[in-house]
Amino acid sequence: MAATILIVEDEPAIQELVSYNLRNAGYVILCAGSAEQAKDMVNDVLPDLVLLDWMLPNVSGIEFARMLRQGARTRAIPIIMLTARVEESDKVTGLEIGADDYITKPFSPRELIARIKAVLRRRLPEVSDEVVEVGGLKLDPTTHRVTVNDDGENQSKSSEIALGPTEFRLLHFLMTHTERVHTRGQLLDRVWGDHVFVEDRTVDVHIRRLRRALEEVGKDELVQTVRGTGYRFSTRCEVGVE
């Protein structure tokens, strides 16, 4: 579940340097040399994060960031400004327009990757490769394994849960957004992708499969149905949920 990063940079040398290092770090990379080209790419594939140069031809990076923040489909995309503008007022402008971080040139690839990881960890934890532990379940995105601590005296013993790829992604998303209720449409966008055209009831099918797998280890109650709304992952049992 590697994160997709869109690099919007009109200087070929910088674009190549950044894309090379980010690919080596395991990210899926898209590149655009202008805001117009980037807009077309976003319409085709919604990236997990945008690295955005300020000084772009025709439409500036600031204007493009404003466009992203105004769109219902794109307003939640994390944005990191990547620019030679070092004045405090410029940084304030970038952050006020909705950028999540602001990196000035020149920069080191290590710093850039660290900043990207920090933003993704904060804004999109489901695309992180960090191990998640909630309610006795342990999910490791790197090894694609989900384990549960066995009840009883031997708490160090664990059982692995067999999940299909979609159920794994669904559980990963729910475990990184605990106590929040998500509609079927929201789950389709975040787990399947907003350009995958399937029926909302597809979510119900995979929720049932996920619960069956969790039921075998007594953890199916963690995935709750909130009547008339959607689903959530919770360690609390409340009225109005199934």
| pLDDT higher than threshold 50 for residue 32 | yes
Mean pLDDT in residue range 60-85: 90
Instruction: Write down the pLDDT at residue 195.
Output: 61
Interacting residues of 189 by C-beta distance below 8 A, sequence separation 6+:
none
Reading the block at residue 201, the tokens are: 């009831």
For residue 206, give every residue at least 6 positions away whose Cβ sits within 8 Å of its Cβ, in sequence order, or none. 166, 167, 170
Looking at residue 124, what is its pLDDT?
Answer: 75
The string of pLDDT tens digits covering residues 142-151 is 888 999 975 5
* Segment 68-95 mean pLDDT: 85
- The string of pLDDT tens digits covering residues 87-140 is 778 778 888 888 899 888 888 999 999 999 988 888 777 777 789 999 999 999
Q: What are phi and psi of 131, to 5 degrees?
A: -70, 135
Q: Give the model's pLDDT for residue 156.
A: 47
Reported confidence tier of residue 152, pLDDT bands at 50, 70, 90: very low
Residue 10 carries which side chain, given as an amino acid letter? D
CB 46 within 8 A of CB 193: yes
Is the CB of residue 29 less than 8 Å from the CB of residue 22? yes
pTM over 0.85: no
The tens digit of pLDDT for each residue in 216-236 reads 999 999 999 998 899 999 998
